[in-house]
Structure 1
Amino acid sequence: MPEKREYRMEELAKEAGITVRTLRFYRERKLIPPPRREGRIAWYDDEHLSRLRTIAALLERGHTLNGIADLAEAFESGRDVGQVLGIDQQPTDEEPVRLTPEDLADYFGGEATGENLAAALDLGYLATDGGEIVHVSRRLLDVSAALVREGVPLAAVLSSARRVREHADALADLFLVMMRTHLEGAGGETMDRFRPLAKSVVEAELSMALDRRLRETPKP
């Protein structure tokens, strides 16, 4: 494992391509963690350098310093990935995705605000893992980004996702009761066979429900 490098303030500023004055400003705004103190000398490390490069990348993507501060606060208060996914989680079809704050900005542009990040963390879509963000489902990440590109505000996507979660939980309860009532030995192998059948029913019913609603909607 490479030895952790440390920098004095002037060295860190030079590595990050900013002035010492800017570095002091970021520190005062709590955009970077406090340095390690050794007497009167402040020592910074690669974590500080990474944070400074993230700030620069987010500024280039149009984020303000206030917005970056809100993102950092939401990120630091989020649950870790073990709490969200569970250490002994059940097998799942969903693929988690590791992201940086810059990746989130690339997916959602100006919609990647501290408020929306906090909502996604609360919903359990996002979790933290050390210095990284983890989205619990690549499919949900891609769909959310596609909706935002179509013009749906991310706040509306997350609000609808919370309601969808409630209905999905109710559907899961319904199918599990049916399986445990009518199938013998409802263990892991049975669940592996049952899961795609349940998903197919839900997908087909949703497709037909959308068709019905579209037929009922008066044309302009």
Structure 2
Amino acid sequence: MSSPAQSSAVAGRSATEYRIEDLAHASGATVRTIRAYQDRGLLPTPERRGRANVYRDTHLARLRQIADLLDRGYTLASIKELLEAWDTGRGLGGVLGLVAEVHGPWTDEQAGRITRAELNTRFGGSPDDDAVAEAVELGVLEPIPGRDDEFLIPSPQELSVAVELHAAGVPLSAISGHLRELRGQVEQIASRFLEFTTEHVFARYLGHRPPTDADAAAAAAMVRRLRPLAQQTVDAELARAMRTFATRHLQHHLGSDTPLTSESSIPMTRQVDLPSETIRSVERLVGPENASAFVAAAAERELQSRTLDALVSSNNEIQQITQTG
């Protein structure tokens, strides 16, 4: 019978070993990327054997972990903090559970597939390459690698809405334009809801970077609990607003003097195009998720400033008239 030391030595020799080129092939990362990760301290130091570095399954697992976190939108700096917490024994189970919970589906809707021929049929039978390209750009359709005639449909419900609107006579260009405008407004709602819940709920769990395993697990449980609330709130408010405005529109078109909007109604909004460089500058300053709110706040502040200037100017003119009189 072999001793524990002998068994350990045998296990060590039988463990999979990789040269850097083999590790790159197995992980899908490039040799250059692996070396960059080593330089940044994201990968454990490999064993030096002669003039070559020897990598093991732990390096492969770490590369896959990094790739997964990058796909979920984490920066390399954030990933390094998480991995350092793991390496010092703090544990990543709760953090990765939180990541999975947030990155998981926020709807019960199942994705579907559709061929190009089926797509043409559903939209009247005539091919429209520009409309398909627009749908791909908006994410309504996603190309399937190796299948030029087939698409993934992330939200079949959203595509069905477009089909019904087109059948009712709405041009495809108008549908895509409306979706772009609607998406911007919904993203503002989502951003505001997250700011609200972070301030009042999640701040207590996410005060440390990275959070402790217990706090991350508690935050993940809270995400599961609060996940339906945003959808329920939007559904209820949308139903209320649709009833109010549909009634008002009907009365207006039936000859009533009822205005389509009022001071007490929900404010009407429209999309305003800004130079791309301006948008990029704002995103660099406050982050993409806060760009819309920042522009709105800046515009509001400018309006208030001009109002104050106008009031001061008006008061000065009155004083001048009074003094002259």
Q: 1:120 Cα shift?
A: 0.8
Given candidates 98, 111, 114, the residue that maps to 2:129 is 114
Q: 1:100 Cα shift?
A: 0.9
| AA aligned opposite 2:184 | E
Structure-1 separation of matches of 2:166 and 2:221 = 38
Count of residues in correspondence between the two structures:
135
Given candidates 220, 223, 242, the residue that maps to 1:191 is 223
Relative to structure 1, the CA distance from residue 106 to residue 92 in structure 2 (aligned partners, 3 Å threshold; closer, same or farther) is farther
Partner SS, residue 143 of structure 1: helix
Residue-by-residue CA offset, 1:93-133 (whole Å, 9 max, x unaligned): 14221111011112212465111111111111111112021
Number of the residue aligned with 1:174: 192
Structure-1 separation of matches of 2:163 and 2:171 = 10
Given that 2:131 and 2:173 are in contact with CA atoms closer than 8 Å, whether structure 1 keeps it comes out as yes
Given candidates 170, 178, 182, the residue that maps to 1:164 is 182
Structure-2 separation of matches of 1:105 and 1:135 = 14
Please give the residue correspondences for 1:139-150 in structure 2 after superposition, counting only pairs within 5 Å: 139-150=157-168
Residue-by-residue CA offset, 1:141-189 (whole Å, 9 max, x unaligned): 1221122222222221111011111011100001111111111437333
Structure-1 separation of matches of 2:184 and 2:152 = 22
Stretch moving more, 204-213 or 103-112: 103-112
Larger radius of gyration: 2
Structure-2 separation of matches of 1:104 and 1:147 = 15
Relative to structure 1, the CA distance from residue 200 to residue 112 in structure 2 (aligned partners, 3 Å threshold; closer, same or farther) is farther
Stretch moving more, 153-162 or 168-177: 153-162
Structure-2 separation of matches of 1:199 and 1:111 = 36
Partner SS, residue 99 of structure 1: strand
Structure-2 separation of matches of 1:100 and 1:198 = 33
Structure-1 separation of matches of 2:123 and 2:104 = 30
Are 1:101 and 2:116 matched, yes or no? yes
Given that 1:148 and 1:154 are in contact with CA atoms closer than 8 Å, whether structure 2 keeps it comes out as yes
Point out 4+ residue stretches in structure 1 off by more than 4 angstroms.
Answer: 86-89
Given candidates 104, 126, 140, the residue that maps to 1:90 is 104
Relative to structure 1, the CA distance from residue 110 to residue 188 in structure 2 (aligned partners, 3 Å threshold; closer, same or farther) is farther
Q: 1:203 Cα shift?
A: 1.1
| AA aligned opposite 2:105 | P
Relative to structure 1, the CA distance from residue 97 to residue 87 in structure 2 (aligned partners, 3 Å threshold; closer, same or farther) is farther
Structure 2: gaps of 5 or more residues:
1-69, 73-102, 207-218, 255-325
Q: 1:201 Cα shift?
A: 0.9
Q: 1:214 Cα shift?
A: 2.2
Given that 1:97 and 1:135 are in contact with CA atoms closer than 8 Å, whether structure 2 keeps it comes out as yes
Partner SS, residue 98 of structure 1: strand
Provide the aligned C-alpha RMSD in A.
Answer: 2.1
TM (norm. structure 2) is: 0.39
Given that 2:106 and 2:227 are in contact with CA atoms closer than 8 Å, whether structure 1 keeps it comes out as no
Structure 1: gaps of 5 or more residues:
1-85
Given that 1:96 and 1:138 are in contact with CA atoms closer than 8 Å, whether structure 2 keeps it comes out as yes
Relative to structure 1, the CA distance from residue 196 to residue 202 in structure 2 (aligned partners, 3 Å threshold; closer, same or farther) is same
Relative to structure 1, the CA distance from residue 103 to residue 92 in structure 2 (aligned partners, 3 Å threshold; closer, same or farther) is farther
Are 1:212 and 2:226 matched, yes or no? no
Structure-1 separation of matches of 2:177 and 2:118 = 22
